């Protein structure tokens, strides 16, 4: 009998500070309805000066290591589009901070917000080859746009860590996947830039085309019919995008697009993204965390995933929720990761936004700001120095 493989455990972390959209709207004179209703966002996580993708990733993964130990983790796949080095994988720092075994492979993956789904699918392949091993998949990103640009209201930051293994306790990932790739310039960040470039409307259109393309392939591969899904978890650059995408899918499949049906499929998937903002690779899996934490019992039900990464690549696949999953959830800790953030006013946010590490890599000590378990202490001799607190 084939082994069932999927997500055995999931934990997330976000940043130290939070900026409300009310504060942003007051600064730029935007009607708050545009943020709360138009894009569906209430606040955004803002990293402290001594936080980055590594500190968030280690904070997300530490509870998995505490619960399951390190002995079966033989691979770490770190997905990000906020990479800190052109050569060294950010996961190697996490491997060190968490004291993982030396008998382990560590690698970084990139394709915009889609990267973590590639990591998950590659992890499934590795576990299929050796069902005794577990793969630690980490998605960690900081979404940063120019100040006063249209993208600014969709910023955010978070990391999700998932333990992928055989006989999973949360979600079995199914075959087939529906795949789609198209060469488009909807959103990108050249190596010399800290902030992303984006063509807003083009990016929305590209996302919708990718939904359509991935679904077409999924149907051709004999995937489940639309009616079998209890919920759909979409990549959420802003939560209203999930609604646009699902309406588009229903239309494309010739289903009625009544708002009750859309709300039933998506309603429980947006709570964390609404208050955290875009976390790129982590976003779709924050959607899964919210769904599992908040929905009525989903045991045995199929959940659809649509992972989109600008540029663009998309994948649509299904997972089945495993009996007993509710005993393994981290609902309290997830709420705490959000509630522990310290509010920052617009001026404080702007200062953090404008701050960057010295471009020439010169020696630098970062101020102590984070109250999280790991911090970036500074840079010395072009080397990033991390510490556990």
* Neighbour tally for 256: CB within 10 Å: 9
In degrees, rounded to 5, the angle at the alpha carbon of residue 106 between the alpha carbons of residues 100 and 109 is 140
Binders of ligand CAA among residues 324 to 363 (CB under 6 A) are: none
Tokens describing residue 274: 């609404």
Q: Is 235 a catalytic residue?
A: yes
DSSP reduced 3-state for 115:
helix
**17, 232, 280, 374: which one binds ligand CAA (CB under 6 A):** 280
- Least distance to ligand CAA, CB of residue 93, Å: 24
- Kindly tell me which residue out of 54, 106, 126, 153 binds ligand CAA, with binding defined by CB under 6 A: 153
Copy the structure tokens of residue 310.
């600008």
Tell the smallest beta-carbon distance from residue 280 to ligand CAA (Å): 6
Which one, 39 or 295, has the nearer CB to ligand CAA? 39
Give least dist CB 199 to ligand CAA, A: 8
The reply on whether position 241 binds ligand CAA by CB under 6 A is yes
Tell me if 197 sits within 8 A of 146, measured CB to CB. Answer: no
Catalytic residue among 8, 95, 235, 248: 235
Residues contributing to the annotated binding site for (3S)-3-hydroxy-3-methylglutaryl-CoA:
31, 145, 244, 278
Report in angstroms how near the CB of residue 135 gets to ligand CAA at its nearest: 24
Establish whether 113 is a catalytic residue. yes
Whether the CB-CB separation of 38 and 317 falls below 8 Å is answered with: no
Rounded Cα distance, 375 and 153, in Å = 26
* Contact present, 181 and 313 (Cβ < 8 Å): yes
Mask for 163-202, x = binds ligand CAA (CB under 6 A): -----------------------xx----------x-x--
> How far apart, in Å, are the Cα atoms of 157 and each of 126, 216, 361?
29, 32, 23
Catalytic residue among 81, 108, 212, 315: 81
Instruction: For ligand CAA, give the closer residue by CB, 93 or 207.
Output: 207
Q: Which is nearer to ligand CAA, 29 or 358 (CB)?
A: 29
Q: How many other CB atoms are there within 10 angstroms of residue 347's CB atom?
A: 9
Nearer to ligand CAA, 73 or 241 (CB): 241
Query: H helices of the chain, where?
Result: 21-28, 32-33, 53-68, 90-97, 115-129, 200-220, 239-252, 259-266, 271-276, 283-294, 331-339, 346-354
Q: How many CB atoms sit inside 10 A of residue 1's CB?
A: 3
Helix, strand or coil, per DSSP, at residue 363:
coil
User: Token pair 């793969």 is at which residue?
Assistant: 135
Can you tell me the distance from the alpha carbon of 92 to that of 98, in angstroms, rounded to the nearest whole number?
10
Q: How far is residue 342's CA from residue 169's CA, in Å, rounded to a whole number?
A: 33
At 135 the three-state DSSP class reads: strand
Kindly state the smallest distance separating residue 155's Cβ from ligand CAA, in Å. Answer: 9
Region 93-122 residues binding ligand CAA, contact defined as CB under 6 A: 113
* Residue 56 touching ligand CAA (CB under 6 A): no
Q: Please say which residue, 146 or 174, places its beta carbon nearer to ligand CAA.
A: 146
287-326 residues in contact with ligand CAA (CB under 6 A) are 308, 310
Sketch the per residue contact string, 35 through 54, with ligand CAA: x for CB under 6 A, - otherwise: --xxx---------------
- Please enumerate, by residue number, every residue annotated as part of a binding site: 31, 145, 244, 278
Task: Burial-class residue 302 by CB neighbours within 10 Å (0-12, 13-18, 19+).
Answer: middle
* Contact range with ligand CAA by CB under 6 A, out of 160-168, 236-244, 324-332, 357-365: 236-244
Task: Name the one range near ligand CAA by CB under 6 A: 57-65, 148-156, 267-275, 329-337.
Answer: 148-156
Q: Count of residues binding ligand CAA (CB under 6 A)?
A: 26
* 128 is a contact residue toward ligand CAA (CB under 6 A): no
Residue number closest to ligand CAA, CB atom: 38
DSSP-assigned states of every residue in 5-44: EEEEEEEEEE-SEEEEHHHHHHHHT--HHIIIIII---EE
Q: Give 297-310 as a DSSP string.
A: P-TT-EEEEEEEET
- Site residues for ligand CAA per CB under 6 A: 31, 33-34, 37-39, 113, 150-151, 153-154, 186-187, 198, 200, 203-204, 207, 235, 237-238, 241, 278, 280, 308, 310
Residues marked as catalytic: 81, 113, 235
């Amino acid at each position: 009998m084939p082994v069932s493989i999927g997500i055995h455990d999931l934990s997330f972390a976000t940043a130290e500070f939070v900026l409300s959209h009310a504060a942003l709207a007051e600064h730029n004179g935007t009607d708050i309805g545009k943020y709360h209703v138009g894009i569906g966002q209430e606040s955004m996580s803002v990293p402290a000066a001594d936080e980055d993708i590594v500190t968030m990733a280690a904070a997300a993964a530490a509870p998995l290591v505490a619960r399951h130990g390190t002995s079966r983790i033989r691979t770490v796949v770190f997905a990000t589009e906020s990479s800190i080095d052109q050569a060294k994988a950010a996961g190697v720092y996490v491997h060190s901070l968490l004291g993982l075994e030396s008998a382990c492979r560590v690698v970084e993956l990139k394709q915009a917000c889609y990267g973590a789904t590639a990591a998950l699918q590659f992890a499934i392949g590795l576990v299929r080859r050796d069902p005794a091993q577990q793969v630690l998949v980490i998605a960690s990103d900081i979404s940063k746009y120019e100040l006063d640009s249209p993208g600014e209201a969709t910023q955010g930051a978070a990391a999700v860590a998932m333990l992928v293994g055989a006989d999973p306790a949360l979600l079995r990932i199914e075959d087939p996947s529906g795949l789609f790739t198209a060469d488009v310039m909807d959103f990108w960040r050249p190596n010399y830039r800290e902030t992303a470039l984006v063509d807003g409307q083009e990016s929305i259109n590209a996302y919708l085309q990718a939904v359509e393309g991935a679904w077409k392939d999924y149907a051709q591969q004999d995937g489940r019919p639309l009616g079998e899904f209890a919920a759909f978890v979409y990549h959420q650059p802003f939560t209203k995008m999930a609604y646009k995408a699902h309406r588009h899918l229903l239309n494309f499949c010739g289903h009625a697009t009544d708002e009750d049906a859309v709300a039933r499929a998506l309603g429980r998937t947006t709570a964390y993204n609404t208050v955290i903002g875009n976390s790129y690779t982590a976003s779709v899996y924050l959607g899964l965390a919210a769904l599992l934490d908040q929905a009525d019992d989903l045991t045995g039900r199929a959940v659809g995933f649509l992972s989109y990464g600008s540029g663009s690549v998309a994948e649509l696949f299904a997972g089945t929720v495993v009996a007993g999953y509710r005993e393994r959830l981290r609902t309290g800790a997830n709420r705490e990761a959000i509630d522990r953030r310290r509010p920052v006013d617009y001026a404080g946010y702007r200062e953090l936004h404008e701050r960057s590490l010295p471009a020439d890599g010169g020696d630098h000590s970062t101020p102590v700001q984070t109250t999280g378990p790991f911090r970036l202490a500074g840079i010395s001799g072009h080397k990033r120095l991390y510490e556990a607190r």
